[in-house]
Amino acid sequence: MKKYFLLVIIILASILIWNNSTFDFKFDVVKSSPSFLLDKKIEKKIDDLISQLSLEEKIGQTCQITLESVLQKNLAGKMIVPYKIDTTKLNEAINKYKIGSILNVANGPEGPTFNREKWKSVINTVQDYAANSSSGIPVIYGVDAIHGATYTSNSTLFPQEIGLAASWDLSLAKSMGEVTAYETRASGIPWNFSPVLDLGRTPLWSRFFETLGEDVYLTKKMGAAIVEGYQGGSKIDSHHVAACLKHYVGYGSPKSGRDRTPALIPERTMEELHLPPFEEAVKKGALTVMINSGEVNGIPGHRNKYLITDILKNKWGFAGFTVSDWEDFIMLHKVAQTDSSVKQGIASAINAGVDMSMVPNNPEYKKYCKLLIELVE
């Protein structure tokens, strides 16, 4: 499984070749060596596979949907409980739109909680369809196991990050990551949207409890320890999961205190406080990064080429891939209004360096795939 997962990661980091700059910046950033070592044999296999992929298959790999998009629903559009996969919808998502990832949100923010056997049934069904698709590339399944395997019944639950930080104990942070990874992976899920590395410096912010507190040094060291616990190294095995650092960067410091709203962060403050926790975790081999839903100094996170490409990918040499937060390509048009259409928002985010779009709902994900094909063509 670890080879398949690394295969998909590196494919995602490789296939997005549409990187036209839309901003001018004060200086160029020298590209660093990769943040984790890439296996030459796997790289060769990936190169051979990419050469055979169609444009539709490449674009599908950048698309992430929710489990809800492929579950059975009644005539009123409500999900049928107990949850069951609608194989017609799953077949369409994988074989027509070639989607690359599924996340575990369904029926509201809490999503379904299954036992291990039910999870294995769901994951195996998804992966069977992926294995028999034209590309044969496995789907990456992601989950928000932010303080234990919260979507698996009878799992071990831990304090939220703010409680963990109060211990000042790095060994506990690593242990929490190890146990969470073990129990999440036992459910068949290889990717965890955690840890939160936003600094807790705005008490009004509704997600303050998810942070490791206000101190940059503590957040940096605790975050790196959690990543080490989750991944057990940059090549994850059957007992570990890929970490996802979030929300890069400045998400936790909105001026109003409201979630997903603008932040004003001076350059020096960004360099000294907000960036170091992410940089430390990247150096520890973190495999994925989720982008800030808000905006910093007037530039939406998903449009900020300087932070995503120049700093994260070039200066730090981040070798994994970046994923958007919930519908944020769409939000560039509908909320931030920096783009005249959803289509233009997709172009802006891809050009800024975002590798995967969380387009959770149906039919939005279908529109995304079609629009990105049009943009590339």
Q: Mind listing the pLDDT tens digit for each residue in 85-138?
A: 999 999 999 999 999 999 986 544 445 678 899 999 999 999 999 999 999 999
pLDDT for 49: 95
Is residue 86 flagged as an active site residue? no
pLDDT for 112: 61
Dist. CA 220–CA 234, nearest whole Å: 18
pLDDT in tens, 330-358: 999 999 999 999 999 999 999 999 999 99
Low-confidence ranges of the chain (pLDDT < 50): 17-27, 107-110
For residue 162, the surrounding DSSP H or E stretch is helix 161-165
For residue 192, the surrounding DSSP H or E stretch is strand 191-192
pLDDT for 18: 43
| CA 354 to chain centroid | 10
Q: Give the structural domain span for 49.
A: 2-376
pLDDT for 78: 86
pLDDT for 368: 98
pLDDT for 106: 53
Backbone angles phi, psi at 197, to 5 degrees: -115, 10
pLDDT for 233: 79
**Domains in the chain: how many in total?**
1
Question: For residues 361 and 314, is the Cβ–Cβ distance under 8 A?
Answer: no
pLDDT for 108: 43
Q: From 109, 110, 107, 108, select the one nearest 82 (Cα to Cα).
A: 107
CATH code (residue 334): 3.20.20.300
In the numeric block, which tokens belong to residue 9? 């990661």
Q: Which residue out of 310, 325, 339, 355 is catalytically annotated?
A: 325
Q: Return mean pLDDT, the chain.
A: 91
23-51 as b/e: b if 16+ CB within 10 A: eeeeeeeeeeeebbeeeeebeeebeebbe
Backbone angles phi, psi at 191, to 5 degrees: -135, 130
3-state secondary structure at position 38 = coil
In the numeric block, which tokens belong to residue 265? 């962060």
pLDDT for 82: 84
